[in-house]
Structure 1
Amino acid sequence: MLEKVMKAAHAIEEALITIRRDIHRQPELALQEYKTAKYIADRLRALGCEVTENVGSTGVAGLLRGRESGKTLAIRADMDALPIKEETEHGFCSTTPGVMHACGHDAHIAVVLGAAEILFSLKDSFAGNIKLIFQPSEESPVGGADQMLEEGVLENPHVDAALGLHVTPELPAGQMGCKEGPFFASVAYFTIEIMGKGGHGALPQHSVNPILVAAECIQALQTIPSAQIDPMEPFVLSIGSIHGGQKSNIIPEKVTIEGTVRCFGDELMSRTGQIMENLLRSITSAYGAAYRLNFRSEVKTLINDQGMIGLIKEAGEEILGKDHTLAAQPVLLGDDFASFSQLVPSAYIYLGVGFPGQPNPPLHHPKFDLNEEALPIGAALLSYTALKFLS
C-alpha cells in the first residue's frame, strides 16, 4: 500500500503546487474565506466527495466513502490568512493588499486536498469514511473549530479520530516532528481596565493616577510565573498593549492593558485568572482605584493521543525514515485543532517546509516562504496514516 500512496503523491506534486499558489494569491482573513471555501468545495466535488458548505460560517466539509461502512477519520486544514503585507518576490504573491498567507494555511489546504485525491484513488482499498474538514478562523479569537463543532461537523457519520498538521520552517522539507500528549498550549487573552480619577498633572493630590496604578499592576502580574507557578511548568504571561492618557499634563480617568497567558492545562489557566483577580483587587484598592478584568480562555490544550501519534509516527518512519521522523517539543503556541483533540483521539504533527542551507523567515513574517517539495510528503503522510487507521 505504501508504494501506491507514494506513486499517487508523486503524480499530483505539480497539482499541489498549483493549488497552494492559487490559494496564496488570494488570501482571505478569518470569517471572510469565501473564495477559498468555494475553491475547495469545487475541487472536492470534482473528486466525487459529498460536500457541505457554510459550516461554522465559511467552513467546508467533504465526505469520502470507502468501499463499505466502517470507522470515520477526520482530516482538518485551516483556511484563513493574516493581516500582513507580503514581502516575498514570487510571481504568485498575494494580490490582496495587506493580507498574506504567512502561517502556511495555503500549504495545509493543498496537503489535505492532496490527501483527499490519494485516498479517492484508493477508495476501493479501505472500509470506512474520510471526513475532510476545512476550517475558517484559526487565527481569530472567534474560533472556527468551535463553530464547526457546534454545527455537528464530527457527526453524520460520527468521527472516531482526527488528523492535522502544521508546517514549520524550523525543520527542512523531508522531516516531520511529533509528540504524544500535550503539544500546543492553552491560550487565554485578557483585558484590564484601571479606573482612577482624572485631573491636572500639577495637582496629583486631587487625582488617582491610573497610569501609576497600571504600572504597579503590570509589575505584579509579571511576578506570577516566578512566584506562583511551579517552575517546572511551562507558562507565559505577556503584556502586549497599554493605552492611557492623551496629554502630558492631564491625569487620565482610565488605562487599558491587554495581554495573553499560555500554559498546559485548563485547571492552571483557571487558577491564573483567579490569581490575577486577587492581585488587581489588592493593588487598586490600596490606591483608591478600581479595575475590570476580562479574562477569556480561547483555546484549550492540544493533546495528541498515544495511539494516533503512534500511527502517524509509524507512517513517517516508513515514508521519511527514522532519522527524519523527529521528537517534537511542546510549544506555547495555540491552535484550535485542540478542540478536535479534546473530543476524539487525535494526532497533530509538524511538517518541515524549510529550505536547507539558507535562512528561513519564521511563521507570521512578511517574508515567510515554504519549500513546496513538502506538499506531496504531507499528503502522503496523512493519507497513509488514514489507511493505517481504517485498516
Structure 2
Amino acid sequence: MDTKTLPPNDWDDYIALRRDIHRHPELGFEEHRTAGLVAARLKALGYTVTENIAGTGLVGTLRHGTSTRSIGLRADMDALPIQETTDLAWASSTPNTMHACGHDGHTAILLAAADAIARRRSFDGTVHLIFQPAEELGGGGGARRMLEEGLFQRFPCDAVFAMHNMPGWPVGQFMFKDEVMMASADRVIVTFRGKGGHGAVPHQAIDPTIAAASALMALQTIVSRTIDPLQSVVISVGKLHAGATYNVIPDSAYMELSVRTFSAPVREQLEALITRICTLQAESFGATAVVDYQRGYPVLVNTAAETQSAVAVARQLFGDDKVVTDIDPLMGSEDFAYMLQECPGCYLLIGNGHIGAHDAATGLTHCMVHNPGYDFNDECLAPAASFWTALVEHRLSPDPIAR
C-alpha cells in the first residue's frame, strides 16, 4: 500500500486536527471534547460508535465482508498536568495541562487510519478502533476501567495493537520488541512516625527523618545486594518530605517511591523487601513505618505471532531500513499491558525525530516526553496511519495466503 493513501489535502486536515487537540488538552477521564470530536469523525466515516466506556472512552466499529475475524487498534487521548512552555501557534490554551506525551498525535493517527480503512474497504472482518481515556493515571487508569466494563467481551478482538511516538529516533522508524517490552510500575507511599520535639533536645524526641533517611539508603541494597544482578530493577525516591521549619523535629516523614521491573516474580519479591526494610529501619530508631504499596501497570508482554505479523507489514510497506526489531525493553510503563493480558497483540513505537519543540522560556529544544517543551511531530502522521491501514488489510485479508 502506498503511504499516500490519503490525498495531501486530507493529510493537512489531520495535521490541523492534531494541532487542535493539542491546543485543547484534557486530563484523564476529562476528555469530553476530544471524545466528542473523535465520535463525530467516526460516525461521519460510517463507523458504529459506542461511547461512554470508562467515562470518556469510546470504540468505533466497522464491519465489511462475511469473515468472523477481528482486530483492535488502540489510541490514548489524555494529556498531562504540565504547564506548556513552547511558543508554538498551537500551544495549549489550558493552564497547567498539555499534550506532553504525544497522545494528540496518537488520536489523530488512528482517525486518519479510520478514514483510509473506511474508504478503501480492503478487508474482510471487523475493525474495532479503541480510543482510551486516562493512560497517564497509573494502575486505575483508562485501559483497566475499559476492561472492567467488558471491552473485549463487547468488542471481541483476535488481536489488539497500539503505537507510541518515540523521540530520539528517526521520523517514521518503526521499532518492535517481542515478549517483554516495558516494565511494571508501582507506587509506594511510606509514612514514618516518631515523636516530635524541639531541635535543641533531640534525645527527648523520636526523629522520623532519621528513619526515613536510613530506609532510603537501605532500599538501594535491594538492587545491589538482594535481587539477581541479571534482573532489571529500579527503585527511585521521587518525594521525600518532613517538617515545616528548621528547629522542630517533626512527628512524621513521608516518602514516595517508583518501583519498576521486567519480571512479575521479582515484582512480588520487591513488595515484601521494601515493606520489610522500611518497617525494620523505622523500628531500629524507635519509630514506626506504614507502607502503602500500590500496584500500577503490569509488565507489558507482546505476543510473538502478532509482533512478527506487525514487523512483516512494516517491512513490506517501508523497507528493512525503516524497521528495527528486538529493541531493548523500556523501563517506562504503559497500561496497554492490561489489554495484552487479556488479548494477544503488540505494542510498537514510531520515531518522532531528534528535534523537539522550542521552549520559549529556556530557548532550548526538547527531545523527551513528559517535558513542558515537547510536541508530537506531524511528519509521523502519514507513515503511522498508513501502517495501521496496512496492518488491518493484512490481518483481515480475504486472501488467506496474504495474511
Q: TM-score scaled to structure 2, two decimals?
A: 0.93
State how 1:232-247 maps to structure 2 within 5 Å: 232-247=230-245
What's 1:166 paired with? 164
CA contact (8 A) 1:9 1:380 kept: no
**Letter aligned with residue 56 of structure 1:** A
Match of 1:326 among 308, 324, 327: 324
Deviation at 1:356, TM superposition (A): 6.6
What's 2:361 paired with? none
Looking at structure 1, the residues matched to 60 and 133 of structure 2 have their Cα atoms a distance apart, in angstroms, of: 14
Match of 2:283 among 282, 285, 292: 285
What's 1:352 paired with? 351
Deviation at 1:41, TM superposition (A): 0.6
Deviation at 1:360, TM superposition (A): 4.8
What's 2:383 paired with? 377
State how 1:122-141 maps to structure 2 within 5 Å: 122-123=120-121, 125-141=122-138
Looking at structure 2, the residues matched to 88 and 113 of structure 1 have their Cα atoms a distance apart, in angstroms, of: 26
**Letter aligned with residue 346 of structure 1:** G
3-state DSSP of counterpart to 1:12: helix
Deviation at 1:9, TM superposition (A): 7.0
Looking at structure 2, the residues matched to 117 and 245 of structure 1 have their Cα atoms a distance apart, in angstroms, of: 56
**Letter aligned with residue 256 of structure 1:** Y
Q: Which moved more, 1:262-271 or 1:30-39?
A: 262-271
- Counting matched residue pairs gives 388
What's 2:67 paired with? 69
1:70-89 CA distance string (max 9 Å, x none): 21111000011011222222
State how 1:222-237 maps to structure 2 within 5 Å: 222-237=220-235
What's 2:257 paired with? 259
Looking at structure 1, the residues matched to 354 and 216 of structure 2 have their Cα atoms a distance apart, in angstroms, of: 40
Q: Does residue 1:115 correspond to 2:121, yes or no?
A: no
With over 3 angstroms needed to count, the CA separation of the structure-2 counterparts of 1:9 and 1:185, relative to structure 1, is farther
With over 3 angstroms needed to count, the CA separation of the structure-2 counterparts of 1:218 and 1:356, relative to structure 1, is closer
What's 2:373 paired with? 367
CA contact (8 A) 2:298 2:335 kept: yes
With over 3 angstroms needed to count, the CA separation of the structure-2 counterparts of 1:39 and 1:185, relative to structure 1, is same
Match of 2:295 among 294, 297, 320: 297
Deviation at 1:126, TM superposition (A): 1.7
3-state DSSP of counterpart to 1:373: helix
Looking at structure 1, the residues matched to 36 and 368 of structure 2 have their Cα atoms a distance apart, in angstroms, of: 29
Looking at structure 2, the residues matched to 178 and 242 of structure 1 have their Cα atoms a distance apart, in angstroms, of: 37
**Letter aligned with residue 392 of structure 2:** A
Looking at structure 2, the residues matched to 77 and 55 of structure 1 have their Cα atoms a distance apart, in angstroms, of: 14
State how 1:67-216 maps to structure 2 within 5 Å: 67-123=65-121, 125-141=122-138, 142-216=140-214
Deviation at 1:361, TM superposition (A): 2.2
Q: Which moved more, 1:306-315 or 1:5-14?
A: 5-14
Deviation at 1:10, TM superposition (A): 5.7
Deviation at 1:281, TM superposition (A): 2.3
Deviation at 1:297, TM superposition (A): 1.2
**Letter aligned with residue 263 of structure 2:** G
Deviation at 1:6, TM superposition (A): 4.3
What's 2:47 paired with? 49
With over 3 angstroms needed to count, the CA separation of the structure-2 counterparts of 1:12 and 1:356, relative to structure 1, is same
CA contact (8 A) 2:356 2:373 kept: no
Looking at structure 1, the residues matched to 144 and 382 of structure 2 have their Cα atoms a distance apart, in angstroms, of: 29
With over 3 angstroms needed to count, the CA separation of the structure-2 counterparts of 1:136 and 1:179, relative to structure 1, is same
Flag structure 2 segments of 5+ consecutive residues without an equivalent. Answer: 358-364, 398-403
Looking at structure 1, the residues matched to 10 and 235 of structure 2 have their Cα atoms a distance apart, in angstroms, of: 44
1:266-291 CA distance string (max 9 Å, x none): 22111101001111222122111111
**Letter aligned with residue 5 of structure 2:** K
3-state DSSP of counterpart to 1:7: coil
Looking at structure 2, the residues matched to 157 and 241 of structure 1 have their Cα atoms a distance apart, in angstroms, of: 40
Q: TM-score scaled to structure 1, two decimals?
A: 0.95
Looking at structure 2, the residues matched to 12 and 326 of structure 1 have their Cα atoms a distance apart, in angstroms, of: 29
What's 2:396 paired with? 390
Looking at structure 2, the residues matched to 247 and 209 of structure 1 have their Cα atoms a distance apart, in angstroms, of: 14
Deviation at 1:357, TM superposition (A): 11
Looking at structure 2, the residues matched to 203 and 263 of structure 1 have their Cα atoms a distance apart, in angstroms, of: 43
Q: Which moved more, 1:44-53 or 1:361-370?
A: 361-370
Q: Tell me how large the CA RMSD over aligned residues is.
A: 1.7
Deviation at 1:385, TM superposition (A): 1.1
Deviation at 1:369, TM superposition (A): 2.3
**Letter aligned with residue 91 of structure 2:** C
Q: Which moved more, 1:74-83 or 1:365-374?
A: 365-374
Aligned-pair identity in percent equals 36
3-state DSSP of counterpart to 1:222: helix
CA contact (8 A) 2:196 2:250 kept: yes
Q: Does residue 1:59 correspond to 2:57, yes or no?
A: yes
Deviation at 1:264, TM superposition (A): 0.9
1:282-336 CA distance string (max 9 Å, x none): 2122111111001111101111111111111111112221011013220000110
Looking at structure 2, the residues matched to 92 and 80 of structure 1 have their Cα atoms a distance apart, in angstroms, of: 17
Looking at structure 2, the residues matched to 9 and 292 of structure 1 have their Cα atoms a distance apart, in angstroms, of: 59
With over 3 angstroms needed to count, the CA separation of the structure-2 counterparts of 1:12 and 1:309, relative to structure 1, is farther
Looking at structure 2, the residues matched to 367 and 281 of structure 1 have their Cα atoms a distance apart, in angstroms, of: 40
Looking at structure 1, the residues matched to 82 and 278 of structure 2 have their Cα atoms a distance apart, in angstroms, of: 34
What's 2:341 paired with? 342
With over 3 angstroms needed to count, the CA separation of the structure-2 counterparts of 1:145 and 1:9, relative to structure 1, is farther
